[in-house]
Structure 1
Amino acid sequence: MAQAEMAQAEIIDALMAFLGQPGASEAEFEAMALRLFGYQFRHNEPYRRFALRRGRTPLTVRRWRDIPPVPIKAFKDLTLSCCPPEAAERVFMTSGTTQAGRGRSYHPTLAVWDRSMLDTFRRRVMRGRGRIRMGILFPDEAALPNSSLARYLTLARREFGTPESAVLVGAAGLDRDALLAALARAEAEAEPYALLGASYAFVPVLDALAARGRRFALPEGSFILDTGGFKGQSRELDPDEFYDALSAGFGVPRAACLNMYGMTELSTQFYDDGNATCPSLKSGPHWIRSRVVDPLTGADLPEGERGVLVHHDLAHFNAVSAILTEDAGEIAPGGFRLLGRVDGEASKGCSLAVAEFLAAAQG
């Protein structure tokens, strides 16, 4: 086995063991984060150039907070991968209208990504349930093999859904009749039901219910999970308006309307515990940490102050673990609050960070 392959196998084994340690201490997280930074520094050439420009090397970085984050837009311009791209088992791509404009995330194995998703979904969404009948408002991964959300929902249905669970979006779009029939059955049989999908996919469902004058009262134990926002695919809804409409349309309390926050450039998802109030508090498992920074300086901002979110995801081992997003947020006890997309000076700061990274990484 080649040296690079041995290093990859060792880091995967160490990560899988760390994912299985929910009681891991902050010191253990830091040790794993620094080990990963060393691995990525050695095997990811564009990232090494950037880190060197910043004066950050495995010899000088002593805290996970000092590991330099990569601006999320850099994934559209550069190949950020420790393994040869052609050796990846799966390539997830961001949404976009052209291949050239889509960010890519390379996975030499899906074992770590799948473990990250399943362990967290089991704890944060299923919460001790066995299986539940699911309706999926998004195409499956057979239709969208490069979509991380399609993979996520396929795993959710396979591992946690009953045999009657169904994908309700296909080549012809949303199957409204099948959805309404599933909702009616759940209501009549008092069978808990879960609807999962992209946030924008719920808007035409709500419109269809309104057009038909229909409302459902799903039984206790039912829940709704949305993710990803509206992305120009439907009309924008204010969060309170959106969750009010979901609660009214399906008879599910807002506390059972969950939101998952994830992205192609990460291998871990964040969750809230419902949206009884907005913005909700989001948090992740023990292998991910979040900071809020001033995008112009990169300095951490104090709790409660609005800035730009940086996520440090140990499960995202093959690219870079530290990601500078373009999402505004604030740190709060137990997690963070997502406050929309950055604008104004924060947006300018993110653009400057992208320019700096590309100049260093391509140099």
Structure 2
Amino acid sequence: MYHTSLWPWFVGHLVDESANRLLFLFPDLDQAPESSLVHMMDTAAKRLAKRECCFAADGQWQIDSQVAVDFLHDCATQNEPVTILGTAFSFVHLLDHLNADAMDFQLPSSSAAMETGGYKGRSREMPKAELHRAITAKLGVPSSRIICEYGMCELSSQAYDGKLGQANAAPRLFRFPPWARARVVSPETLADVELGQSGLLQVVDLANAGSALSLQTEDLAKRHADGFELLGRAELAESRGCSLMNLSHD
């Protein structure tokens, strides 16, 4: 059920037929078999097996910046569009490496990036807009082709805040597939808030056939008619997720 839920929504938002290369700022599945996010990336790599894939982190989630840079350099010189997938922190570490070496890329025009995960209370945080500007400046990927993913190990479905190949107007709104429903609820009553109001995000995921169908998160969101705007974690919420893992770069 997980793969049935994951794949069509991933393809519809992140797969560009002109991008034949994928750079994953993640360890491969053999190195991090317990990570749901790594499992998701492994599924994507296997489904897109005809494309050239590179995993640029080890089992400790240490980014091998040289592997990533070499792969990106080859993409640029061969004029091969690439999709780069990583957590917010892995992008920061790659960008720090590029800054330290006074290096940047102008990747081919159909290149893209998928960014997921927050900073979970760690230092070296970058506001999302600043991070995306840095990705554009150092990698040449325009903001319209930087797609954010929202998901967690308790869910079988993921939400994205845009689609490659279409205009993604501000504010960027996350949308789940039709078999999952996002609600923004009052923390006091758990009733739906009014349109334009903020509250806690609740997700009902029918693809969770073997686990809880409804999940109450501690993520803050603003309710819109056709999606939700992610605002961050509720105050005093426990830090969690893949971006909390020990990440570094060479």
- Which TM-score tier does this pair reach, normalised by the shorter chain? 0.7 to 0.9
Helix, strand or coil for the counterpart of 1:281? Answer: coil
**What code does the residue aligned with 1:311 have?**
V
Aligned twin of 1:340: 232
Aligned twin of 2:46: 158
Aligned with residue 286 of structure 1, among 178, 194, 209: 178
- Identical residues among aligned pairs (%): 34
Q: Is the 8 A contact 2:116 2:150 kept in 1?
A: yes
Tell me by how many angstroms 1:230 deviates: 2.0
Alignment partners' CA distance in 2, 1:289 and 1:320: 14
Alignment partners' CA distance in 2, 1:131 and 1:244: 21
Aligned twin of 1:327: 219
Aligned twin of 1:107: none
* 1:330 to 1:150, Cα distance in 2 relative to 1, 3 A: same
Tell me by how many angstroms 1:138 deviates: 1.0
Alignment partners' CA distance in 2, 1:124 and 1:276: 11
Instruction: Spell out, residue by residue over 1:112-170, the C-alpha distance to the aligned partner (whole angstroms, 9 max, x if none).
Output: 0011111111111115x276211111112222222110100101111125453111101
Instruction: Spell out, residue by residue over 1:93-125, the C-alpha distance to the aligned partner (whole angstroms, 9 max, x if none).
Output: xxxxxxxxxxxxxxxxxxx00111111111111
Alignment partners' CA distance in 1, 2:145 and 2:197: 28
Q: Is the 8 A contact 1:133 1:161 kept in 2?
A: no
Aligned with residue 266 of structure 1, among 155, 160, 163: 155
So what's the TM-score if we normalise by structure 1?
0.61
Aligned twin of 1:356: none
Alignment partners' CA distance in 2, 1:150 and 1:307: 29
Alignment partners' CA distance in 1, 2:231 and 2:120: 16
Tell me by how many angstroms 1:171 deviates: 4.1
**What code does the residue aligned with 1:342 have?**
A
Tell me by how many angstroms 1:187 deviates: 1.0
214-223 or 279-288, which deviates more: 279-288
**What code does the residue aligned with 1:153 have?**
M
Q: Which has the higher helix share?
A: 1
Q: Which has the larger radius of gyration?
A: 1
Alignment partners' CA distance in 2, 1:135 and 1:264: 22
Measured on the aligned residues, the alpha-carbon RMSD in Å equals 2.2
So what's the TM-score if we normalise by structure 2?
0.87
Q: Which has the higher contact order (CA 8 A, sep 6+)?
A: 2
Query: Is 1:142 aligned to 2:30, yes or no?
Result: yes
Gaps of 5+ in 1: 1-111, 344-348, 352-363
Alignment partners' CA distance in 1, 2:40 and 2:77: 29
Query: 1:8-19 residue pairs with structure 2 within 5 A?
Result: none
Q: Is the 8 A contact 2:19 2:80 kept in 1?
A: no
**What code does the residue aligned with 2:138 have?**
G
Q: Which has the higher strand share?
A: 2
Gaps of 5+ in 2: 239-250
Query: 1:49-128 residue pairs with structure 2 within 5 A?
Result: 112-126=1-15
Alignment partners' CA distance in 1, 2:3 and 2:221: 27
Aligned with residue 78 of structure 2, among 163, 169, 189: 189
Alignment partners' CA distance in 2, 1:284 and 1:130: 25
Alignment partners' CA distance in 1, 2:47 and 2:122: 29
